[in-house]
Amino acid sequence: MADADTAVLEQSDVSEDDSSAAAASRLVVSLWLSDSVRNRLVAAGGLQIVEDLDRVGSADLIAVSTRIPPGESPARIAELRQQASCPIVVIVHPGGEDVAVALMSGGASGLVAEGNEPTVAAFLGSDLSGTGLIEAYEQTLDRRSAGRRSSGDRDPVTRLRGMSALDARLANGAAGAVPRLGWARVIGFEEATRRLSVEARDILRRRLAAQFEEICHHRNAEIYASEAGEFAIVTETLSIAEFERLGMDLIQA
């Protein structure tokens, strides 16, 4: 990413009175991060995100995505490790596990699941020895979902409501309203995850579910887990066109 321009992202609600807090922000040099990932890092607070590789030597942390663009290579991590002594954190997207292994082999310090960017700040000095990646991600999902999911049948891996809850939901829709029901399936999920460990497969399912649930929540729709890589989407407010746009959002997630 040698042609990257400096792109500092700051929280929009920082005022002149907050200058002391801004001065205390930690410098994070990013590589291959999408806008959504950078925005979540900024939302975590206290981080100044730049794409300027000339500042690697003064960085407090380097954040690298497994979404490697064409022409780039995981070997770039080995080059960065020679230039910087700060932690290098890999942000892993669903399906990027093999790339993450290559990045770790190149000298990266640790892994964070995409969608759990607040955990990146923990590499700036907090003790991570007592909390593994999966446990930290589960805690984040539970906090994010608090008060949003109703009680009842729950998928043990994704934490989403399951088929029994879906049946009850469809049978007890609002008076006079006919719920609109759709299905979302990750094509080739079983084949793609067959060689993964149970733990790796579960965290991949959990990450997909978290991303899909966030999209459905913003679109005023409900999501249920039916089986690995498959979800049911229910809404009583979206039109057909809006429901189709929701489907496109899920495809692009």
- pLDDT of the residue at 139: 54
- pLDDT of the residue at 130: 40
Do the Cβ atoms of 148 and 217 come closer than 8 Å?
yes
- pLDDT of the residue at 11: 34
User: pLDDT tens across 168-207, in order?
Assistant: 888 776 555 678 899 988 888 888 787 777 777 787 888 7
Cα–Cα distance measured from residue 240 to residue 169, given in angstroms and rounded to the nearest whole number? 20
As a dihedral over the C-alpha atoms of residue 146, residue 150, residue 156, residue 159, rounded to 10 degrees, the angle is: -40
Phi-psi region of 139 (alpha: psi -120 to 50; beta: other; left: phi over 0): alpha
- pLDDT of the residue at 5: 32
Q: How many CA atoms lie within 13 A of 33 on its CB side?
A: 30
As a dihedral over the C-alpha atoms of residue 191, residue 161, residue 156, residue 127, rounded to 10 degrees, the angle is: 100
DSSP assignment, residue 151? Answer: S
Task: Please report, in tens digits, the pLDDT of each residue of the chain (253 residues total).
Answer: 333 333 333 333 334 344 334 334 889 999 999 888 988 888 877 889 999 999 999 999 999 999 999 888 888 888 888 888 898 998 988 878 778 878 887 888 888 888 888 778 777 764 444 444 455 555 555 555 554 444 457 888 888 888 888 888 887 765 556 788 999 888 888 887 877 777 777 878 887 888 888 889 888 899 999 888 899 999 888 888 899 899 888 887 6
User: pLDDT tens across 71-91, in order?
Assistant: 888 888 888 888 888 989 989
Phi-psi region of 98 (alpha: psi -120 to 50; beta: other; left: phi over 0): alpha
- pLDDT of the residue at 22: 38
Q: Give Rg (Cα) of the chain.
A: 20
- Of 63, 40, 41, 39, give the one whose Cα is nearest residue 51: 63
